[in-house]
Amino acid sequence: MNRDTSSGFFSGLLMGAVIGAAVALLYAPQPGTETRRIVKEKALEVKEKAAKAASKIRESVSSVIKGEE
Phi, psi of 28 (to 5 degrees): -75, 140
pTM of the predicted model as reported, rounded to 2 decimal places:
0.51
Q: How far is residue 10 from each of residues 13, 19, 34, 43, measured CA to CA in Å?
A: 5, 14, 30, 19
DSSP 8-state class, residue 28: S
Average pLDDT value for residue range 2-21: 76
Condensed to tens digits (0 to 9), the pLDDT of residues 16-44 reads 888 888 788 778 787 878 878 888 888 88
Q: pLDDT band at residue 9, thresholds of 50, 70 and 90?
A: confident
Could you tell me how far CA 9 lies from the centroid of its own chain? 13
Mention every residue, 6+ apart, whose C-beta is less than 8 A from residue 23.
none
Q: Look at residue 8 and give its three-state secondary structure.
A: helix
Query: What ranges do the domains of the chain cover?
Result: 3-68
